[in-house]
Amino acid sequence: METTTLGKTGLTVSRLGVGLAQLGGISAGDAAKAGRILGSALDAGINFFDTAECYGNSEELIGKTVAHRRDEIVLATKAGHPSTGSSGRPWTGQTVRDSIDRSLVKLKTDHLDLVQLHAHDIAAPPPDEVIQAVLDAKESGKTRFLGYSGENEDAEWAVQSDLFDTLQTSFNLVDQRARYDLFDQARSRGIGIIAKRPIGNAIWGKATAADSNAQPSGSNLERLKRAQAMLEMGPIDGAPQDPVVLALGFVFAHEDVHTAIVGTGSPEHMLSNIAVVETDLPIAESVVAQLRRRFDLVGREWRAID
């Protein structure tokens, strides 16, 4: 598995990471299934695990199944608002402190490698007391590094603030805004980039399937419209037929992306993702260039979608 250094953190991370929101949908009593997912990832050399207290049973299952392999994992979680079974007001210093402490217990570890502000429901900048809470967590050794998860102007604020070591932001075939200015700003400051939704919720495949009856809504409807606009320009010479190969090949062609997190709640899906990265990549640079050109023509004003 290809690895790289996560910006100024110095952490060695696999370029394919695992987003563990879907793991949280697995019953706490089905630890064996979670163990197969996480174990197969570690066995293949995937070491970047991205979770959050609000991802259902995700943290608990990680702690139950792979805590004994803690030294192999770059463990990232998120905080910012209370989750199921907890109390408190969102975006207060106390809520963040409590969330980090609960995460340590659930994950069965004495420290986190990365705590990220899960800023999907608050505009930047977050309250000063929240910033102080994560700075205190770093100072006390509860986390080694701090990150921010957000899009567009909020992501730019996070990079320019010089408060964070990493940025998690959307980047995929139909969400390329980050490559205009954000990547350059992050690189100049040594900020590690974590790409979320690298396959864009598999929307490219739905857009290319002639017999697809999928009727997405919300953000996925917007992603579908974007994919269709890019596909209306005709076939892409040399593009792989598998839309997952195309999507991951596009993201990994950008060296500014240190790790891309793909979610799964299935052992089989995990093995399939590993096979794509190990056997089907990279894709042709001409294909990557064509995807960039199409986005530049029709999507330069598109905002990144969380």
Domain positions in the chain: 3-202+241-283
Token pair 């052992």 in the structure block, residue: 267
Q: Which two tokens stand for residue 23?
A: 């793991």
Residue 305 — φ and ψ, nearest 5°? -105, 125
Please give the Cα distance from 37 to 29 (Å, whole number): 15
User: Between the CA of residue 74 and those of 6, 48, 142, 145, 168, what are the distances in Å?
Assistant: 10, 5, 14, 11, 15
> How high is the pLDDT of residue 215?
75
Mean pLDDT by 10 residues, the chain (306 residues): 95 95 81 89 94 86 94 94 75 92 95 91 88 96 96 95 96 96 96 94 80 73 91 93 94 96 86 90 96 96 90
pLDDT tens digit sequence for 192-207:
999 999 998 888 888 8
Please give the Cα distance from 68 to 31 (Å, whole number): 14
pLDDT tens digit sequence for 117-162:
987 778 889 999 999 999 999 999 999 999 999 999 999 999 999 9
Looking at residue 206, its amino acid is K
Please give the Cα distance from 189 to 171 (Å, whole number): 19
CATH H-level superfamily of 3-202+241-283 = NADP-dependent oxidoreductase domain (3.20.20.100)
Exposed, middle or buried by CB within 10 Å (0-12, 13-18, 19+), for 152? middle
Measuring CA to CA, which residue among 93, 58, 67, 60 is closest to residue 79?
Answer: 93
Active-site position among 55, 91, 183, 204: 55
Q: Are 34 and 40 in contact (CB under 8 A)?
A: no
The torsion region of residue 18 among left (phi > 0), alpha (psi -120 to 50) and beta comes to beta
Measuring CA to CA, which residue among 62, 133, 69 is closest to residue 101?
Answer: 133
> How high is the pLDDT of residue 280?
93
Token pair 């579908």 in the structure block, residue: 224
180 is annotated as an active-site residue:
no
> How high is the pLDDT of residue 115?
97
Measuring CA to CA, which residue among 113, 174, 128, 125 is closest to residue 150?
Answer: 125
Which residue stretches of 49-122 are H helix? 58-66, 93-107
Q: Which two tokens stand for residue 270?
A: 């995990």
Contacts of 149 (CB under 8 A, 6+ apart): 78, 116, 117, 118, 119, 120, 167, 168, 169, 196
